[in-house]
Amino acid sequence: MSATLLHNEIYDTLTMYHLSNALRTVKRLCCSAVLCYSTLLAIAKPTMTGSSTAPLFLANLTLGDDGIWGNVEPSQYQKVEQTLREEVANAEYDDYLLEISKHHSIEVMDKEVKDFIQRIPVNGVICDVGGCWGWHWRNLHIYRPDISVVIVDFVRANLQHARKLLGDVVGSNIFLVHGDATNLSFKDEIFDGYWSVQTLQHIPDLRIALREAKRVLKEGGVFTNYSLNNSSLMQKIYSFFQKEYVIDSFTSTFYLRRDNVQSCRVYLEYFYSKSKISYSEILFKPEFRIWHSGRTGSLLGKIDSLLSGDMQLLGPFARQISVHAIKPTQLPLSTIGQ
Ligand SMILES: C[S@@+](CC[C@H](N)C(=O)[O-])C[C@H]1O[C@@H](n2cnc3c(N)ncnc32)[C@H](O)[C@@H]1O
C-alpha cells in the first residue's frame, strides 16, 4: 500500500469518527431540548390549560394553582372591607350550611334560585357577583345541569370555601373567579343572567357596578339583585329592641346601603325592561336569633319562601328587597343609564 493510500484511509477513518461524534452530540442536544420543552409545558400547564380549554366566558383569565381564575388587587373603595373579610374567611367551618343559615334563609333563597334559573335559556351562563361560598348553586346539577355559573368574589379565601362546599362541580359547570364587581374581567355581553345577593349594597358607588352588570349581560339577559330592605316599621322594631339598623352609611367594617322602592329606581335606569320589585325573608330575622328558621328543611323557612314574592303588603316586614329585570334589546348601550 502506498503512503498516499494509507494517508487517505486514516483521513477517512478520522472523518467518520468526528462525524459520528458530531451526530451523537446533535442527538444529545435534541433530546435535552425536547426534555426542557416538556418540563416547561408541565410547569406552565395551569396557564396553558386556562387559555386553550377555558370556556369562552373565561377568556383572558388565568387559572391559579388553587383552581380559581383571575386575580384582583384590593378594591379602591372597599379596601378595609376586603381586608377584614379576607381575615374572617380564614376561619375553618365544619358545617357550611349551618353557618350560612345564621345569615340567610336557605329555604327562601333556594326557592328564589329555582325561580331565577327557570328564566335562563338552555346552556345559559350566569354570573353570581359577590357569590362568596357559592352555596346557591349546590343543587344546580340536579335542576339545570346545562347551565354554567361563574362565581365572582373579591375575597379569594371565600372562593376557596366555595370550592370545598361545592366539591366536584367546580371546574365542570361552576367556575370561581377572583374579581371585582366594579371592574369585571369579562368580555361584553357574555352572560344570560346576573345574580347578586347582598353584595351591591356594600359598594359605595352602585352605578359603577350597574354599568358593569349592563356591559356583561347579553341583550334579553336576566338581572336580579337582592339587598337588605329599608323599612321604617322594621327600623322602629329594631330600635325598640336596641338592635342596630344601618340604612345608608359606613359602619366600622363596611359600607351598607339598604334599598326601598324609591332607591330601586337606580337599577331600573339600567334595566328598565320588564322589571319587578319583590320582597323576601319576611319571617327570617337573624338579629333576633331565631336561627332555626334559616336552616334547610325549616318549616318556618318553607312558609317564608311561600310568603316571599311581589306582595307589596308584606314589604314593611321583609328583610330583603329585590329587583328583577331584563336588559333591553335593540337599544344602543350608550343610551341606557349612562
Ligand atoms: C354579604 S356577602 C353575600 C354573599 C353571597 N352573595 C350569599 O348570598 O351568601 C357579600 C359578598 O360580596 C363580596 N363582595 C363585596 N364587595 C365586592 C366587590 N366589589 N366585588 C366582588 N365581591 C364583593 C364579599 O367578599 C362577600 O363575599
Burial 31-59 (b: 16+ CB within 10 A, else e): eeeeeeeeeeeeeeeeeeebeeebeebbe
pLDDT at 2: 47
The answer on 35 and 61 residing in a single domain is: no
Same-domain status, 129 and 159? yes
* pLDDT in the model for residue 13: 47
Cα–ligand 1 centroid distance for 227 (angstroms): 11
Q: Which pLDDT score, from 0 to 100, does residue 94 have?
A: 92
- Enumerate residue ranges in the chain where pLDDT < 50: 1-6, 10, 13-14, 19, 30-52, 336, 338
- Tell whether 209 is covered by a domain: yes
Whether residue 60 is found in the same domain as residue 156: yes
> Which residues sit opposite 176 in a β-bridge?
151
Instruction: Please tell me whether residues 228 and 266 are part of one structural domain.
Output: yes
What gap in Å lies between CA 150 and CA 173, rounded to an integer? 8
Task: Give domain status of residue 243, yes or no.
Answer: yes
Q: Is residue 127 part of a domain?
A: yes
What CATH number is associated with residue 269?
Answer: 3.40.50.150
Helix (H/G/I), strand (E/B), else coil: 175: strand
Q: For a substitution probing ligand 1, which of 71, 85, 106, 132 has the most ligand atoms within 8 Å of its CB?
A: 132
Q: Are residues 97 and 121 in the same domain?
A: yes
- Does residue 97 lie in a domain region? yes
Q: How far is the CA of 189 from the centre of ligand 1 (A)?
A: 22
pLDDT of residue 86: 87
Query: How many domains, in total, are found in the chain?
Result: 2
Close Cβ partners of 233 (under 8 Å, ≥ 6 residues apart): 316, 317
Assess if residue 131 is contained within a domain. yes
Residue 173 Cα to ligand 1 middle (Å): 21
Indicate if 27 and 136 belong to the same structural domain: no
- If asked whether residues 63 and 17 sit together in one domain, one would say no
Indicate whether 138 and 218 sit together in one domain.
yes
Cα separation, 256 vs 107, in Å, equals 24
Ligand 1: which of 128, 154, 203 to mutate, judged by most atoms within 8 Å of the beta carbon? 154
For residues 141 and 263, membership in a common domain is answered with: yes
Same-domain status, 65 and 37: no
Distance 299 CA to ligand 1 centre (A): 28
Residue at 49 is within a domain: no
d(CA 37, ligand 1 centre) in Å: 41
Same structural domain, 61 and 37 = no
- For 99, phi then psi, to 5°, come to -65, -45
Which atom of ligand 1 is the closest one to the Cα of 128? 6
Question: Which residues sit with their C-beta closer than 6 Å to ligand 1?
Answer: 75, 78, 85, 104, 130-132, 152-155, 158, 180-182, 197-199, 202-203
The predicted structure's pLDDT at residue 46 = 37
Q: Is residue 50 part of a domain?
A: no
299 within some domain = yes
Same domain, 32 and 114: no
Domain limits for position 30: 3-43
Atom 3 in ligand 1: residue holding the nearest Cα: 198
Residue 73 is predicted with a pLDDT of 86
